[in-house]
Each structure stands twice: as structure tokens, then as C-alpha cells.
């Protein structure tokens, strides 16, 4: 029915097709979360599956030109993700554990990438430029999944502090590795003879560009701080922040640069010079529709048929085999790298044994980077890269949150014992030792006193506060006119 309506271009305006397509994407993405929620799967999995169902692979509901026209979504979605990650780079926290965090992150990210490259290139005989990009993408993790798990469990302590910093640094190394890998891949594809100063220049070029983007992100972070003064209304704060993020993405696109690292630095700069976390919560509550569109579109461009057949441009191995190998090798590399890195840094036993388990999740950032790489590489090579990353991301989202939760449990970063959660004096005012029943009743009463009347979502509260302030200001303006 939809394809018939879309094809009748004489009677249906193109703008209406775009609007209806967006409505379908949003609604179907929401519907699929209803199913995945019952079996306790993350929303990202629901969005990708929804995209596959309504995309060209299955029902072909959304026209191809609409899907192609939404290729700007990865830049915007990743800008929000990267800016949010920047808030976790608190300088006073980084100074405490910088050496340990740097060593661990370097070991686990590089070892995962090394495993993937060696096996895909030397054993699976994948084309070298493709193997380099795939191995670079293996360095990244999914900060959102890990942070959500920590928040839900109320986990805290040294292990959690180390985990948050490693996850944040992970994506910095992953972005830099990706930038170098894509430059090397383009060099290999455009040059039959490799070597000499020209090759070294191609490697140095992305490092220079990343330094430029970092500087630009720092300037935009300071600009954001200057524009978001205390006198600025909360609704205008949100508008200015989004405008600057969009402007930064557009500028990077004009210069053919990835905005990820700059947006991360922008968030880090703003967070450190203002100590304002409310803006991040407002953006977190604003961004779900954008992220939904991004992930559903990723599912729509996912080619199921390509999984079961080899892609001649990269090698003779079926992509499903490459996806499974990538999935397994990255987990092994992350765990062993985190273990040996912690050993070198002389970290605690909990960090050595269990940190690698928390680094399993991978979605968001890597899906966006694969989309950017596919746009640069184009053709079968770009499609193959996205197919492998999306297939493995679904697997990671199935086991990632459970793996992160297991690491927090084994490291004793949270507890389910009531006596540890709520501290109650074991003797009364008269010095009499309380019974177990009395202690239990007091603990329950204390928990009830601390609980809000309704479940609290900090991002929702921040966004609601902005809306309420806007309404109050509007009423005040109307009264002055009256």
C-alpha cells in the first residue's frame, strides 16, 4: 500500500512522503521496543530489527531515496553521543588514575584490534585495507550501555571509577585509530606501490586533522559556556546547545572531518569549566527520537542476503563468518588486554579479573563510524563493512548488558543485601539490642521515606523543568502585556 502511494508521485507531494516515512520509522521503532522490553533486550536491538523489517530486505515500506536522503543522521546522532561522553572526562578524576587508565585502555583496545587484524587478514585472507578498518573499529565500546547498567544498579567504588574512565578513553583511541585506518585504506586503494615518505605523510595527516578538531571542539566548548550564562532561560540553553552541535557537525562535514572527537572535547570542556550536568540531562532526554531514526535507518540499510555470501571486493569468506570471528576476537582481545594492562598498572584484583567483562558492549559509536566509513569507501566494500558491524552489534547488545552487570557483581561494586544498602543502628537509645524483625521494619521504613512518590528520571526532570520555566516566562510576558 505504501509503495503504491509513494510511486504515485503526481498526486503525492515529496514532502508528505518524507513526513509519513519519518512517522512510520518512529512508530515502528517504538512498537518493537515493546517486544524487546519483555525479553529484556536493549532498545538498540529493537531499532535495528525494526529497520530490517521495514527496509528493502523484508517489506520495503520506506522508499530508497528517503533512506539515502537520511545519510546525515550518523553525524548528528554521533554528535549527541560524543558530547554526552565528554561529561565523564572530569579533570580532577582523570588526574587520580591517568597512568593506570591510559595503560589499561591502550592494552585492551590495541590487543582487540591486533587480534582482529591478524586473523581476518592472515587467516581469512580479507583484503588488507578492509581488515585495517575493521580492526580499528574493534577498539571502541558502547559507553551508553555500560553507564546505563551502572546507573540502574547504583554501583560505585574504585572499580566503577576505573570502568567509566576506560570506556570514555576507549572511544578516543577508537576514533583516532579509525581516522588513521581510513587514511591508510584510501592510500592502499589509490596506490599500487606502498612505501616512502608519502605513506608516512598519509599516516600523519589524520593525526594533524584530529588535533585540529580537538582544538575546534575546545573553542566550541568555551563558546557554549559563554553563551549559556546564568541569565539564560533553560529552554534557550537547550536551543543554543543543539545549534552549536549542529554547527560543529556541519563545519566538520564541510572540511570532510569526523565530528566525533571534537564533540567529545566540546562536552569535556563545557563540563570542566562549568560543572553543569543539567544540560547533559536535558540533551539526553531530547535525543531519543534522533537516535531512534539513526539506528532504524542503520537497520534499513542492513543487507541480510549479503551475510550468507562472500563479497568479492574484500575476499572469498562469507560475511557471516567474518561477523562471528570479529565478535569473538574482540571479546577475547578486550578481556586479555584489560587483564594485562591492569597487571602492568598494578591495579586491584577486581579490576584485573573483571574489567574486561564490562567492555563487551559495542553499538552507538561503532555503528556511526561504520556509516561514515561506508560513505567514504562506497560500493560493495562500504556495504560489507556496515553489514558486519550491524550483525555483530546485535550480538553484542544481546550479551553486553548482562556481561557488564556480571562484572559489577563479581567486583562487589553493588550489593543486594538490605543491611548493606540501608544502615540502621543495631541498638536503641536505651542500649538494648534490636531484634532482626525490628531492624527489618526500620530499614523498610527508611527506604520508603527516601523513595519519591513517582519514579525519578533525572533527564526527564531536567527537560520538564525547562518546559515549566518556559511556560512561566510566557505567562509573565502575557501579564505584562495585559
Question: What pLDDT, in 10s, does the model give residues 183-210?
Answer: 888 777 766 555 556 667 767 777 788 8
Band (pLDDT 50/70/90 cuts) for residue 478 is: very low
- Residue 348 phi, psi (nearest 5): -70, 165
Cα–Cα–Cα angle for 241, 246, 250, rounded to 5 degrees: 150
**Residue 456 reports pLDDT greater than 80:** no
Q: Which residue has the cell 591510559?
A: 102
User: What pLDDT, on the 0 to 100 scale, is given for residue 362?
Assistant: 82
pLDDT digits (tens, 9 = 90+) for 16-75: 888 889 999 999 999 998 888 887 777 777 888 899 899 888 888 888 888 888 888 888
Q: Report the distance separating Cα 374 and Cα 397, nearest Å.
A: 22
Report the alpha-carbon angle 99-105-108, nearest 5: 135
Please, are residues 132 and 189 in contact by the beta-carbon 8 Å criterion? no
pLDDT tens for 372-418 read 888 888 778 888 888 888 888 878 877 877 788 888 888 888 765 55
Give mean pLDDT, residues 3-11.
51
pTM: 0.76
Cα 38 to Cα 167: distance, rounded to the nearest angstrom: 28
Q: Would the pLDDT of 116 be above 90? A: yes
> Which of 370, 314, 384 has its CA nearest to residue 138?
370
Amino acid at each position: 500500500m505504501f509503495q503504491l502511494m509513494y510511486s504515485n508521485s503526481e498526486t503525492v507531494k515529496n514532502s508528505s512522503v518524507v513526513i509519513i516515512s519519518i512517522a512510520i520509522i518512529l512508530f515502528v521503532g517504538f512498537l518493537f521496543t515493546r517486544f524487546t522490553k519483555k525479553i529484556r533486550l536493549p532498545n538498540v536491538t529493537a531499532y535495528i530489527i525494526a529497520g530490517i523489517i521495514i527496509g528493502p530486505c523484508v517489506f520495503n515500506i520506506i522508499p530508497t531515496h528517503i533512506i539515502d536522503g537520511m545519510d546525515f543522521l550518523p553525524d548528528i546522532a554521533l554528535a549527541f553521543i560524543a558530547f554526552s561522553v565528554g561529561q565523564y572526562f572530569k579533570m580532577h578524576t582523570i588526574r587520580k588514575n591517568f597512568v593506570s587508565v591510559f595503560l589499561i585502555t591502550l592494552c585492551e583496545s590495541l590487543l582487540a584490534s591486533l587480534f582482529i587484524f591478524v586473523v581476518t587478514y592472515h587467516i581469512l585472507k580479507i583484503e588488507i585495507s578492509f581488515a585495517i578498518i575493521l580492526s580499528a573499529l574493534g577498539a571502541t565500546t558502547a559507553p551508553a550501555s555500560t553507564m546505563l547498567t551502572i546507573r540502574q544498579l547504583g554501583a560505585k567504588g574504585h572499580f566503577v571509577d576505573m570502568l567509566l574512565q576506560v570506556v570514555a578513553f576507549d572511544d578516543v583511541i577508537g576514533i583516532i585509530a579509525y581516522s588513521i585506518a581510513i587514511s591508510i585504506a584510501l592510500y592502499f586503494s589509490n596506490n599500487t606501490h606502498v612505501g616512502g615518505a608519502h605513506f608516512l605523510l598519509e599516516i600523519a595527516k589524520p593525526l594533524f586533522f584530529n588535533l585540529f578538531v580537538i582544538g575546534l571542539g575546545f573553542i566550541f566548548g568555551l563558546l557554549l559556556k559563554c553563551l549559556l550564562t546564568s541569565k539564560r532561560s533553560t529552554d534557550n540553553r537547550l536551543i543554543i546547545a543543539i545549534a552549536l552541535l549542529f554547527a560543529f557537525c556541519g563545519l566538520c562535514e564541510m572540511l570532510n572531518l569526523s565530528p566525533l572527537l571534537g564533540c567529545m572535547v566540546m562536552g569535556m570542556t563545557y563540563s570542566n569549566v562549568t560543572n553543569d550536568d543539567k544540560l547533559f540531562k536535558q540533551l539526553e532526554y531530547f535525543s531519543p527520537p534522533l537516535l531512534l531514526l539513526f539506528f532504524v535507518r542503520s537497520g534499513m540499510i542492513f543487507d541480510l542476503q549479503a551475510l550468507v555470501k562472500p563479497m568479492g571486493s574484500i575476499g572469498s569468506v562469507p560475511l557471516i563468518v567474518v561477523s562471528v570471528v570479529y565478535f569473538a576476537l574482540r571479546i577475547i582481545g578486550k578481556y586479555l588486554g584489560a587483564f594485562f594492562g591492569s597487571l602492568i598498572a598494578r591495579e586491584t584484583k577486581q579490576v584485573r579479573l573483571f574489567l574486561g567483562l564490562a567492555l563487551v558492549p559495542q553499538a552507538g559509536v561503532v555503528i556511526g563510524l561504520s556509516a561514515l566509513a561506508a560513505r567514504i569507501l562506497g560500493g560493495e566494500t562500504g556495504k560489507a563493512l556496515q553489514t558486519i558491524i550491524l550483525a555483530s552489534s546485535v550480538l553484542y547488545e544481546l550479551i553486553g548488558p548482562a556481561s557488564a552487570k556480571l562484572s559489577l557483581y563479581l567486583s562487589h561494586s553493588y550489593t543486594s543485601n538490605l543491611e548493606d544498602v540501608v544502615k540502621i543502628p543495631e541498638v536503641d537509645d536505651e542500649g538494648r539490642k534490636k531484634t532482626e524483625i525490628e531492624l527489618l521494619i526500620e530499614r523498610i521504613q527508611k527506604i520508603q521515606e527516601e523513595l519519591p512518590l513517582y519514579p525519578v528520571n533525572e533527564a526527564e526532570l531536567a527537560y520538564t523543568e525547562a518546559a515549566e520555566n518556559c511556560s512561566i516566562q510566557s505567562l509573565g510576558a502575557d501579564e505584562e502585556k495585559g
